[in-house]
Amino acid sequence: MSWHPVIPWPLIVVAGLLLVGFTGWRLVAESRHRVRWGLRVATSLAMVVALLGPAVNGAIARQAASDVNVFFVVDTTTSAMARDYGEGRPRLEGYREDIAKIQEEMPGARFSIITFDFAARVVMPLTTDTQALKTATENLRAEDSQYSGGSSVTVAQDRLKKTLEGTKERQPERSRIVFYLGDGEQTSSDEPAPFDLPDLVDGGAVLGYGTAQGAQMAKTEADGSTSGDVTDSAGKPGVSTIDEKRLEEIAKQLDVPYTHRTGGDIAPAMEDADPGTTVAGAGASIETYTSLVWIAALVMAALLLVDLFLVTREIGRLRRVEP
């Protein structure tokens, strides 16, 4: 049994003394209406109990604590809409599914999302709010196909480096894990600059999506909606293919493993990712309890109804005896 006051307890004491004191005094002073004033004394006591917030203690749960900052670097170029993930679904759906699976495998970690197409941007800063991560993941959209130009698979280098350096300076004790999600397709005419992140990446993985045969891509609008498929200048369907060699090079630059993803269990991709340490029961404790205020409230309601009935009956009796 425990108590969780609804309002500050000094106010409860003052209110209780006033109500119980007054109704108790009237109970003694008015011998003709002792039943009604007795009900009011009981109602006052029930109200005090309700305000004190009685509860039954439950278990003490602990949040998972993790020493990890996780950064998802996500390819949102038009090729993310190529339909060769799993059974003909867009690669972007694979990104969303795997981000959710990784989050489940790393409770208590902090997560951030960096997307890239023609430029890189942080769409969600580091947070432990899993609902925020879910919302940001669901809102991932491929770039507007109308303005799609050549893009580099390492365009996120500078943004990622700056973010990792800032995190290392502020939280040197936390591991920095990078998951790169993309197809490795370089559409810029320039050779991609290598990722150069010395002593900034402690683990992670490069996750590749797509097939060597490739697939057509849905044309995307600015609001994320689709309208037909992408075509080249000759009107032929645009096809995007995975470049696993390029993805393996990126994995080597980041010093993390590469895994080709087609759906299913994320565990194989996590085995060599070195995602840091998650300690069960090392986080903040959360006391759980079941409130009993509703019982006191029901007692109050019942007593008030009985009191109202008695008062109404007395008023009716007085009216009948009037000349």
pTM metric for this prediction = 0.66
Query: Per-domain residue ranges for the chain?
Result: 2-61+286-321, 65-279
**Model pLDDT, residue 280:** 44
* Residue 110 CB contacts under 8 Å (≥ 6 apart), including other chains: 66, 68, 69, 70, 126, 127, 128, 174
Query: Does residue 279 carry a pLDDT above 80?
Result: no
Classified as helix, coil or strand, 5 is: coil
Rounded mean pLDDT, 107-123: 93
Residue 222: phi and psi, rounded to 5, are -60, -30
Query: Does residue 226 carry a pLDDT above 70?
Result: yes
Both structure tokens of 219: 């044309």
Architecture of domain 65-279: 3-Layer(aba) Sandwich (3.40)
Residue 271 pLDDT class (50, 70, 90 cuts): confident
Angle at 222 between CA 233 and CA 72, to 5 degrees: 100
Rounded mean pLDDT, 118-138: 94
Rounded mean pLDDT, 222-242: 84
Q: What is the pLDDT of residues 157-190, one digit of tens each?
A: 999 999 999 999 999 988 999 999 999 999 988 8
Q: What is the pLDDT of residues 314-323, one digit of tens each?
A: 887 777 765 5
Query: Does residue 62 carry a pLDDT above 60?
Result: no
Both structure tokens of 150: 């050549």
Q: Which amino acid is at 206?
A: V
Average of per-residue pLDDT values in the chain: 87
**Model pLDDT, residue 58:** 63
**Model pLDDT, residue 65:** 46
Q: Which region among 12-16, 133-137, 145-149, 232-236 has the lowest average model confidence (pLDDT)? A: 145-149
Comparison of pLDDT for 148 and 288, the residue scoring more: 148
Query: Does residue 209 carry a pLDDT above 50?
Result: yes
User: Would you list the DSSP string of 123-174?
Assistant: EEEEE--HHHHHHHHHT--PPPGGG-----TTTTHHHHHHHHHHHHHH-TTS
Q: What is the pLDDT of residues 80-92, one digit of tens each?
A: 999 999 889 999 9
Angle at 9 between CA 44 and CA 60, to 5 degrees: 110
Comparison of pLDDT for 221 and 178, the residue scoring more: 178
- Long-range CB contacts (< 8 A, 24+ apart) of 210-214? 210/79, 210/82, 210/84, 210/85, 210/91, 210/183, 210/185, 210/240, 210/241, 210/242, 211/84, 211/241, 211/242, 212/241, 212/242, 212/244, 213/84, 213/241, 214/82, 214/84, 214/239, 214/240, 214/241, 214/242
Residue-wise burial string across 65-94, b where 16 or more C-beta atoms lie within 10 A, e elsewhere? bbbbbbbbbbbbbbbbbbbbbbeeebbbbb
Sign of CA dihedral 33, 36, 39, 41: negative
